[in-house]
Structure 1
Amino acid sequence: MDGTAMEKGNEGISDDSQGAIFESDSEHDDVDDVGTGGNATEINIMEGATFRDVNHFRAHLQDFVIQEGFQIVRQKNEKARVTVICKEKGCTWRVHASPIADGITYMIKTFNPKHTCIRDLDNKSATSKWIAEKISPSLMSNPCLTVKDLVISVRQNFKINILYKRMWRARNMAIEINVGKYNLSYAGLPNYGDLILQKMPGFIKGCRPFIGLDGCHLKGRYGGVLLAAVSVDGNNGLHTVAYGVVEVESLGDSSVDLSPTFIPDRQKGLSDAITTFFSQAHQRVCCRHLYQNFKSKYPGILLRDHFWATARAYTTVHFEREMKAIKEINSEAYDWLDIQPPKIWSRHAFDIRAKSDHITNNTAESFNQWISKCQEVYGYIRGYDPTASRFD
Structure 2
Amino acid sequence: MGVELGEDSEYADSDAFQSASSTDEEELASSRARYPEFNGEVDMKNPQFKVGMKFRDFKQFKEAVRNYGIQNRYVMNFRPNTKKKCKAFCKKGCHFYLWVSPMVGDKSTVQIKSGVFKHECSKDHNNRHVRANWIAMNYLEQFRANPNWAISVIVQVVKTNQKVNVSRLKAYRVKCIAHRMIDGDEESQILRLHDYRLELIRTHPRSIVIIECNEDVFEGIYICLAPLRAGFLAGCRRLVSLDGCWLKGLYGGQLLSVVGIDANDCIYPIAWAIVRRETKDSWTKFLQVLAQDLRINDSQQWAFMSDRQKGLMPAIHELFPNSEHRYCVRHIHTNFKQTYKGKTLKDQLWSCARATYLSAYKRAIEGLKGMSLGAFEYMKKIEPKHWSRLHFHTQFKCDILLNNMCEVFNSQILKLGLRESLQ
Give, in whole Å, the separation in 2 of the partners of 1:243 and 1:154: 40
Match of 1:142 in 2: 147
The structure 2 residue matched to 1:62, chosen from 62, 66, 86, is 66
Q: Alpha-carbon deviation of 1:263?
A: 1.9
2:225 aligned to 185, 190, 197, which one? Answer: 197
Q: Deviations over 1:32-69 (max 9, x none)?
A: xxxxxxxxxxx464779x99988988755532322322
Q: Which residue of 2 aligns with 1:182?
A: 186
Distance 1:46 1:296, change over 3 A: closer
Return the TM-score normalized by structure 2: 0.62
Letter in 1 for 2:252: G
Conserved? CA contact 1:211–1:231, under 8 Å: yes
Identify the residue that residue 261 of structure 2 maps to in structure 1.
232
Give the TM-score, by structure 1 length. Answer: 0.66
Rate the CA distance shift 1:169–1:330 in 2: closer, same or farther, 3 A.
closer
Q: Distance between the aligned counterparts of 1:305 and 1:336, measured in 2?
A: 16
Judge conservation of contact 1:143–1:379 (CA < 8 Å) in 2.
no
Deviation of the 1:91 alpha carbon? 1.7
- Pick from 215, 229, 234: which aligns with 2:244? 215
| In the alignment, structure 1 residue 360 sits paired with structure 2 residue 402 | yes
Q: Which residue of 2 aligns with 1:37?
A: none
Residues 307 and 331, structure 2, Cα contact 8 Å, conserved in 1: yes
Q: Which moved more, 1:371-380 or 1:333-342?
A: 371-380
Distance 1:276 1:176 in 2: 43
Between the aligned partners of 1:364 and 1:174, the Cα distance in structure 2 is 29
2:356 counterpart of 1:314:
yes
Q: Calculate percent identity across the aligned residue pairs.
A: 28
Give a deviation string over 1:69-120, Cα, whole Å, max 9, x none: 2205489999xx9995545544236599x99xxxxxx999999652112334
Partner residue, 2:76 = 71
Note the C-alpha offset of 1:238: 1.7
Letter in 2 for 1:342: P
Structure 1 residues 116 and 224: CA distance shift in structure 2, 3 A: same
8 Å Cα contact 1:210-1:354 kept in structure 2: yes
Alignment of 1:1-392 (within 5 A): 43=46, 45=48, 61-67=65-71, 68-73=73-78, 86=90, 88-92=92-96, 113-120=117-124, 123-127=127-131, 129-134=133-138, 136-137=140-141, 139-140=143-144, 141-142=146-147, 154=158, 157-160=161-164, 172-190=176-194, 191=197, 192=200, 194=209, 196-199=224-227, 200-250=229-279, 251-252=281-282, 254=285, 255=288, 256=291, 258=296, 259=299, 260-376=302-418, 378=420
Q: Does the 8 Å CA contact 1:214/1:364 hold for their aligned counterparts?
A: yes
- Does structure 1 conserve the Cα–Cα contact (< 8 Å) formed by 2:246 and 2:255? yes
Flag the 1:299–1:374 CA change in 2: closer, same or farther, 3 A. Answer: same
Taking the aligned partners of 1:116 and 1:220, their CA distance within structure 2 comes to 49
Are 1:71 and 1:123, in contact at CA under 8 Å, matched by a contact in 2? no
CA-to-aligned-CA distance 1:4-32 (integer Å, 9 cap, x gap): xxxxxxxx99xxxxxxx9979xxx988xx
Report the Cα distance in structure 2 between the residues aligned to 1:138 and 1:158, rounded to whole angstroms: 16
Distance 1:29 1:201 in 2: 54
How far does the alpha carbon of each residue in 1:325-354 deviate from its partner, in whole angstroms, 9 at most, with x for none? Answer: 334444554343333222211112213343
Compared CA separation, residues 336 and 124, structure 1 to 2 (3 A): closer
- Partner AA of 1:182 in structure 2: E
Displacement of 1:362 after TM fit? Answer: 1.6
Shift of 1:123: 4.2
| Contact map agreement 1:135 1:171 (CA 8 A) in 2 | no
Measure the CA separation in 1 of the matches of 2:249 and 2:149: 13
Distance 1:314 1:155, change over 3 A: same
Cα separation, 2, equivalents of 1:293 and 1:75: 66
The higher radius of gyration belongs to: 2
Aligned residues: 342
Q: Flag the 1:22–1:321 CA change in 2: closer, same or farther, 3 A.
A: same
Shift of 1:297: 4.1
Note the aligned Cα RMSD (angstroms): 4.8
Structure 1 spans left out of the alignment, 5+ residues:
1-11, 14-20, 31-42, 100-105, 381-392
Q: Tell me the amino acid that sits aligned with residue 62 of structure 1.
A: R
> What displacement does 1:234 show?
1.3
- Give 3-state SS (helix, strand or coil) of 1:208's partner: coil
